[in-house]
Structure 1
Amino acid sequence: MTNAMQLNLTTPGSNLTSYIATANSIPMLTAEEEHALAVDLQENGNLDAARRLILPHLRFVIHVARGYAGYGLQQADLIQEGNIGLMKAVKRFDPSVGVRLVSFAVHWIRAEMHEFILRNWRIVKVATTKAQRKLFFNLRKSKTRLGWFSHEQVQTVANELGVKPETVLEMESRLSGRDVGFDGYQDDDDDSFAYAPAAYLQDVSEEPARVLEAADWSAHNEERLTQAISTLDERSQDILASRWLSEEKTTLHELADKYGISAERIRQLEKAAMQKLRSALMD
């Protein structure tokens, strides 16, 4: 295989079937060969060693990309993004750790694919049917020319594309929505990290007013419960305390022996006491 053919494998073109067949035909490396190439790359910066590490693992990128077929994105694009992750993994692979490259690279490959899916997921959400996808791309071109639509422009676009004005307005609202990246990097430089919005959203859980309100509400409920329990007879109070408020809960049979009645009668008294408490707390 020529060097040109090998280099072209990292960027799948229009003939994806041929690319996959060629990638699968590249022999896999033995553990010893992989380790020697990784050491050569790490110590000498040998780019040919990097290429020889990348090419046999292209088939694995293809395998991972197939797992994301349900997102409606082109397999060639997913494979290309996965190849970028593979290259990053090869660059950072440390042969002294004692793991195979494929085990290390899978995280980088999936990370790049996930990033690509998230960048393009909005398009998938905006257009969920073939007709909507056609409208989406045509409408995007029209908005580039016209800017924000007036009523007349909506009618014009609807007539041009053969759809209802309501459909154009719905798609326009989807297009005008702005997605906020919740995680990720600012650019291709992995050291330039952009913190997710959750990192700087205001935390109001410890706000003094909220804390005081929660404490007052808890004290109020506790007082109401205490008052409700005090309306019960002593035996019912003891049954509830033994069954629900003690760290070591008493069984029905133990309470039955204590009061000289059946366990079923204890259960009935417990149920009646709980009903009285609920009624008192609901008033």
Structure 2
Amino acid sequence: MTRRGEANDPKPERLPLDPRGEFPAEEPDLVPEEDLEEEGRGDAETAALVPLRERPLPSAIDPLARYIQEVRKFPPLDPEEERELARRYRETGDPELAKRLITANLRLVVKLALMYRRALRSVMDLIQEGNIGLLEALKRYDPDLGVRFSTYASWWIKAYILKYLLDNARLVRVGTTNARRKLLYNLRREQRKLESQGIAPTTKLLAARFGVSEEDVEDVDRALSAQDVSVDVPVGEDQRTRLGDLLPAEGPSAFDQVAAAEVKERIDAALEEFRAGLGERDRALLDRRLAADEPATLQQLGEEFGVTREAMRQAEVKLKRRLATFLRDRFGEEVRLHFLQ
């Protein structure tokens, strides 16, 4: 997964509400979140994260239950010990100190990942992303901020989990730009706020509030209201037909392609007939200027034929009129070439 560039270091007076510089602090409307408790991550709480008695599979073959059992082996840190380890790690970069800080907070990652378990089937994928966020938090954490590492890290953990959900929770990606990602997080919330104030949440008003285009608002609103459907889903009584087989193909139909090819063939033949009756200078204007992909300039053609640029321009105007009359007589008013406009 491609990572974005690093954001600025957080300032002591404010926690990084947007640690990756990609989305605001609020969670997106497509992923509901429960309240986060800041402290008290003891063994009893970790055991309550996933009640094993309610799980149908034993921990020996259930990856999540097995992972939680392993995480419980690492005791949490008290605030003073955590601050001292973080300070020493910041000074020395000792990997053993980093390991102690990371392992003591693995259960925090599990807790935050489980808050989004309804948005994705594999909680382990969310835990993996959260662990990457935890490592990023350790890299940036300043113990002199006066904030516990676990509280600071929770923002980074959630940032990585939410980015993963935006990229993978839907078949069709919607939050592909910063503007659309902002809308994914706040569009529904802003609509409810405006409605509670008696204001109609029009597309134009929402676009102005978020500083995005009306097209972005419409696309994200449509994506939030709709449900992704795979084109491979079977349809019909026999279940042999796929949805994709019934969708119209993009571009012109086979009939239109055949008709266009026939018209082009007739026009090419007419142009060749018209060209045969031209003099050398007019043929050069037709081939190298009117019908060319990269037209020559009037100055270049004038120098070749020993006349001024204005003389070539007047010759081109007359040639266009002759060609337009010729095609009108041959095909009527239906055919218009772009270089005659």
TM over 0.5: no
Report the TM-score when normalising by structure 2.
0.35
Q: Which has the higher contact order (CA 8 A, sep 6+)?
A: 2
Q: Give the alignment's TM-score, normalised by structure 1.
A: 0.42
